[in-house]
Structure 1
Amino acid sequence: MKMGAVFLSLLSVSLFLAGCQDIRMFFKGFEESFKGLEMTIQTYDESSQLIDQITGKSILIERDQTFDSDLESKDSSVIKITIGTKEMHHVGSSMIIAEKGLDNVFDTYTQTVDVANLQRGIPVINAMVNEQRNSFLGKKKVVLIRSQNGTPLATYAGNQVSLYKTEVPKSTGLLIDGKYLFVYRCDYTIYDLALLE
């Protein structure tokens, strides 16, 4: 009887962790470091015009530590990207790196967003609940990305979206339905999908 209870407890914990976005993100980082991710790299000018595009099967994104001010600062904005056995460096212009399987749904959300929400809530509790949902389940969200001057650039949407900090200044990592999106030097707004429906 006790062995059955232990088994059920372990099974419950395993199922709980399997649904945890933070665990998925940890394994995504592990996969990126040791196998690389199949991704497309796109850089844009300030008018959101595509400058270049590179697709690779084994991509790793890192901050180039060579350009840190000192050993403790970790302030380099230079990105070092390994593509298979080749390498590229980037700094300055807007960049989006999307894992294979993520679709840019820009045309679906090209209209200007005008939202009115009159629902009441308790802000401090809502903030705590949203933080926990980001870590464990993610939320249905739409990510509107703009160039540095505010020109619309790309849009991504998903049922389980969570935001994460990265080691690269002025960048954000997102886990969208199990796929990784890296956004560098872009303006963005992330909406709960329910706000737009």
Structure 2
Amino acid sequence: MKKRILALIVIVTLSLSGCNFFSNELGKLNEALKGREVIIQTYDEESSIIDKVEGKSVSIASDKTFEITDSEGNTVDKSSVINLTVGGNEVLHVGSSLILHEKELEDVFAQYAQQVNIENNDRSVPFINRMVNDMKNMTTGKSKILLVRSQSGQPLATFAGDDVSYFATDVDKSTSFLIDGHYLFIYRCDYTIYDSELLN
């Protein structure tokens, strides 16, 4: 009986996670095979752009040279060094804030440049809300606004979408996002993700 229940849970999970989770995994495979067409920008603490790279065949990964492993080969400390390939050439980056996004994804910073103040007095059950939000993140995503800041808290960029999900990466101090089907990667940035309904 337990095996049937477990099998049912696996089937339901796989069918529900057919959207954003698998889109993210397919995006990784696509990146490994032909790369992504992206814009990469790095920033100083005052939000000034240090450099900008655009490429049609870009791949991003943790540089394993700087990864710390134990005697059994298990990762003890992830590498904070990013290894980017841009059209067959290599870029190593560490330290400053970095935003990489597909060209179709628009930075809407100007629309949300003002300070955000939210007041919401609706009653709810936090435990259930978390479960529902986690499931939506893995499947359909939610309408969200992402405010990205430098490590010192200076605004860098703002992204918004009707179908937003976020994922862990193999690069230390980074997060990846799918925003309406487009890839976004941020490294060493502060960020806050708001449900769009809170800002209306």
- The reply to whether TM is greater than 0.5 is yes
**Structure 1 runs (4+) greater than 6 angstroms displaced:** none
Q: Please say if residues 63 and 76 of structure 1, whose CA atoms lie closer than 8 Å, have aligned partners that are also in contact.
A: yes
5+ residue gaps, structure 1, are 1-12
What amino acid is aligned across from residue 196 of structure 1 in structure 2?
L
Q: Please say if residues 17 and 23 of structure 1, whose CA atoms lie closer than 8 Å, have aligned partners that are also in contact.
A: no
SS of the equivalent of 1:28 reads helix
Q: Please say if residues 105 and 155 of structure 1, whose CA atoms lie closer than 8 Å, have aligned partners that are also in contact.
A: yes
What amino acid is aligned across from residue 32 of structure 2 in structure 1?
S
Write the deviation string for residues 69-103 of structure 1: whole angstroms up to 9, x where unpaired: 22422511000000011010000000000111000
Aligned partner of 2:68 in structure 1 is 69
**Match among 182, 186, 191 for residue 185 of structure 2:** 182
**Match among 95, 109, 119 for residue 92 of structure 1:** 95
Is 1:45 aligned with 2:47? no
What amino acid is aligned across from residue 155 of structure 1 in structure 2?
T
How many angstroms apart in 1 are the aligned matches of 2:74 and 2:90?
Answer: 25
What amino acid is aligned across from residue 156 of structure 2 in structure 1?
L
How many angstroms apart in 2 are the aligned matches of 1:53 and 1:72?
Answer: 35
SS of the equivalent of 2:116 reads coil
Q: Please say if residues 146 and 192 of structure 2, whose CA atoms lie closer than 8 Å, have aligned partners that are also in contact.
A: yes
Pairing of 1:1-197 with structure 2 (within 5 A):
20-70=19-69, 71-73=73-75, 74-197=77-200
What amino acid is aligned across from residue 67 of structure 1 in structure 2?
F
Percent identical residues: 51
Once superposed, what is the RMSD of the aligned Cα atoms? 1.4
Write the deviation string for residues 28-78 of structure 1: whole angstroms up to 9, x where unpaired: 111111010000110000000000000000110000001112242251100
- Report which stretch shifted further, 44-53 or 65-74: 65-74
The TM-score with structure 1 as length reference comes to: 0.90
How many angstroms apart in 1 are the aligned matches of 2:129 and 2:39?
Answer: 35
Q: C-alpha displacement at 1:19, in angstroms?
A: 5.7
5+ residue gaps, structure 2, are 1-11
Q: Please say if residues 96 and 182 of structure 1, whose CA atoms lie closer than 8 Å, have aligned partners that are also in contact.
A: yes
Aligned partner of 1:4 in structure 2 is none
Q: Please say if residues 17 and 138 of structure 2, whose CA atoms lie closer than 8 Å, have aligned partners that are also in contact.
A: no
Q: C-alpha displacement at 1:18, in angstroms?
A: 8.7
How many angstroms apart in 1 are the aligned matches of 2:197 and 2:180?
Answer: 17
How many angstroms apart in 2 are the aligned matches of 1:72 and 1:92?
Answer: 24
Q: How many residues align?
A: 183
SS of the equivalent of 2:68 reads coil
Q: Please say if residues 39 and 57 of structure 1, whose CA atoms lie closer than 8 Å, have aligned partners that are also in contact.
A: yes
How many angstroms apart in 1 are the aligned matches of 2:17 and 2:62?
Answer: 29
Q: Please say if residues 17 and 139 of structure 2, whose CA atoms lie closer than 8 Å, have aligned partners that are also in contact.
A: no
Q: C-alpha displacement at 1:17, in angstroms?
A: 6.2
Write the deviation string for residues 1-39 of structure 1: whole angstroms up to 9, x where unpaired: xxxxxxxxxxxx9xx669611011111111111010000
